[in-house]
């Protein structure tokens, strides 16, 4: 019974995360397969071309962005998780308004902001959300929380370590963002 209650709670969270206005086709997808290693971090979903999906479409859970679709088959699709080293998301710091590109590290639950000037106003605890730039990820949707700023002596840039807000270790049902933002 606990498993059923947990899935019900997860579905309610997804419904709260779904867009509330406009004529959107909300799509929930079941995870069929997961590949997690330092080189590939992907999931296979039970929805595909039969649901009018497109490459680049974001996948979310109730807490944040999980990744985006990279392959669409007739009945399934493959999504790249945000922790994969091939992933890059335009983000904005909610405290300062600073924009940057958040990239996957290849490590579970770790993301990086690279090429951040050492003098940039960023601190542990800062919340990062999608900036909306690029037209795929929904502006303002949570992505991560800054955990650590690594500054090397003599270097102009810092490496910022970020923890995803999405639950990357436990997502059986996901929300597929309903439409591409740019037209």
Instruction: Give backbone dihedrals phi and psi of 14, rounded to 5 degrees, phi first.
Output: -65, -40
Per-residue confidence at 170, pLDDT binned at 50, 70, 90? confident
Backbone angles phi, psi at 9, to 5 degrees: -60, -40
User: Does residue 77 sit in the same domain as residue 94?
Assistant: no
CATH code of the domain in which 107 resides: 2.40.10.350
- 181 within a domain of the structure (yes/no): no
151, part of any domain: yes
66 shares its domain with 134: no
Query: Which pLDDT value is given to residue 180?
Result: 55
Q: Which residues contact 82 (CB under 8 A, 6 or more apart)?
A: 65, 66, 67, 89, 102, 104, 111, 143, 164, 166, 168
Closest CA to 166 of 62, 34, 35, 26: 62
pLDDT at residue 168 in the model: 85
Q: Is residue 183 part of a domain?
A: no
Residue-wise pLDDT tens digits, 38-63? 899 999 999 999 998 999 999 999 89
Residue 106 has pLDDT above 90, yes or no: yes
Q: Is the pLDDT of residue 183 over 70?
A: no
For range 58-87, the mean pLDDT: 96
C-beta of residue 148 within 8 angstroms of C-beta of residue 100: no
Asked if pLDDT for residue 150 goes beyond 80, the answer is yes
Whether residues 77 and 121 share a domain: the answer is no
Distance CA 107, CA 39 (A): 9
CA distance 159 to 93: 15
Chain mean pLDDT for the chain: 87
Overall average pLDDT of the 142-146 stretch: 98
Q: Are both 75 and 106 inside the same structural domain?
A: no
User: Any idea what the CATH number is for the domain that residue 13 is in?
Assistant: 2.40.10.340
Band (95; pLDDT cuts 50, 70, 90): very high
The total of structural domains in the chain comes to 2
Beta-ladder partners of 146: 162
Are 154 and 104 contained in the same domain? Answer: yes
């Amino acid at each position: 019974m606990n498993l059923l209650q947990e899935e019900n709670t997860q579905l309610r969270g997804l419904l709260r995360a779904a867009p509330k206005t406009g004529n959107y086709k909300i799509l929930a997808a079941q995870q069929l397969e997961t590949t997690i290693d330092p080189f590939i971090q992907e999931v296979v979903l039970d929805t595909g071309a039969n649901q009018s999906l497109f490459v680049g479409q974001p996948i979310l859970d109730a807490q944040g962005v999980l990744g985006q679709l990279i392959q669409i088959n007739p009945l399934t699709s493959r999504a790249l998780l945000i922790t994969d080293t091939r992933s890059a998301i335009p983000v904005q710091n909610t405290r300062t308004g600073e924009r940057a590109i958040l990239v996957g590290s290849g490590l579970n639950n770790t993301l990086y902001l690279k090429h951040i000037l050492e003098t940039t106003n960023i601190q542990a605890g800062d919340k990062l959300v999608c900036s909306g730039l690029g037209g795929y990820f929904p502006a303002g949707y949570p992505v991560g929380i800054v955990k650590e700023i690594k500054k090397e002596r003599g270097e102009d840039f810092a490496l910022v370590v970020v923890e995803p807000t999405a639950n990357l270790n436990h997502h059986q049902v996901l929300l597929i963002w309903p439409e591409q933002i740019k037209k």
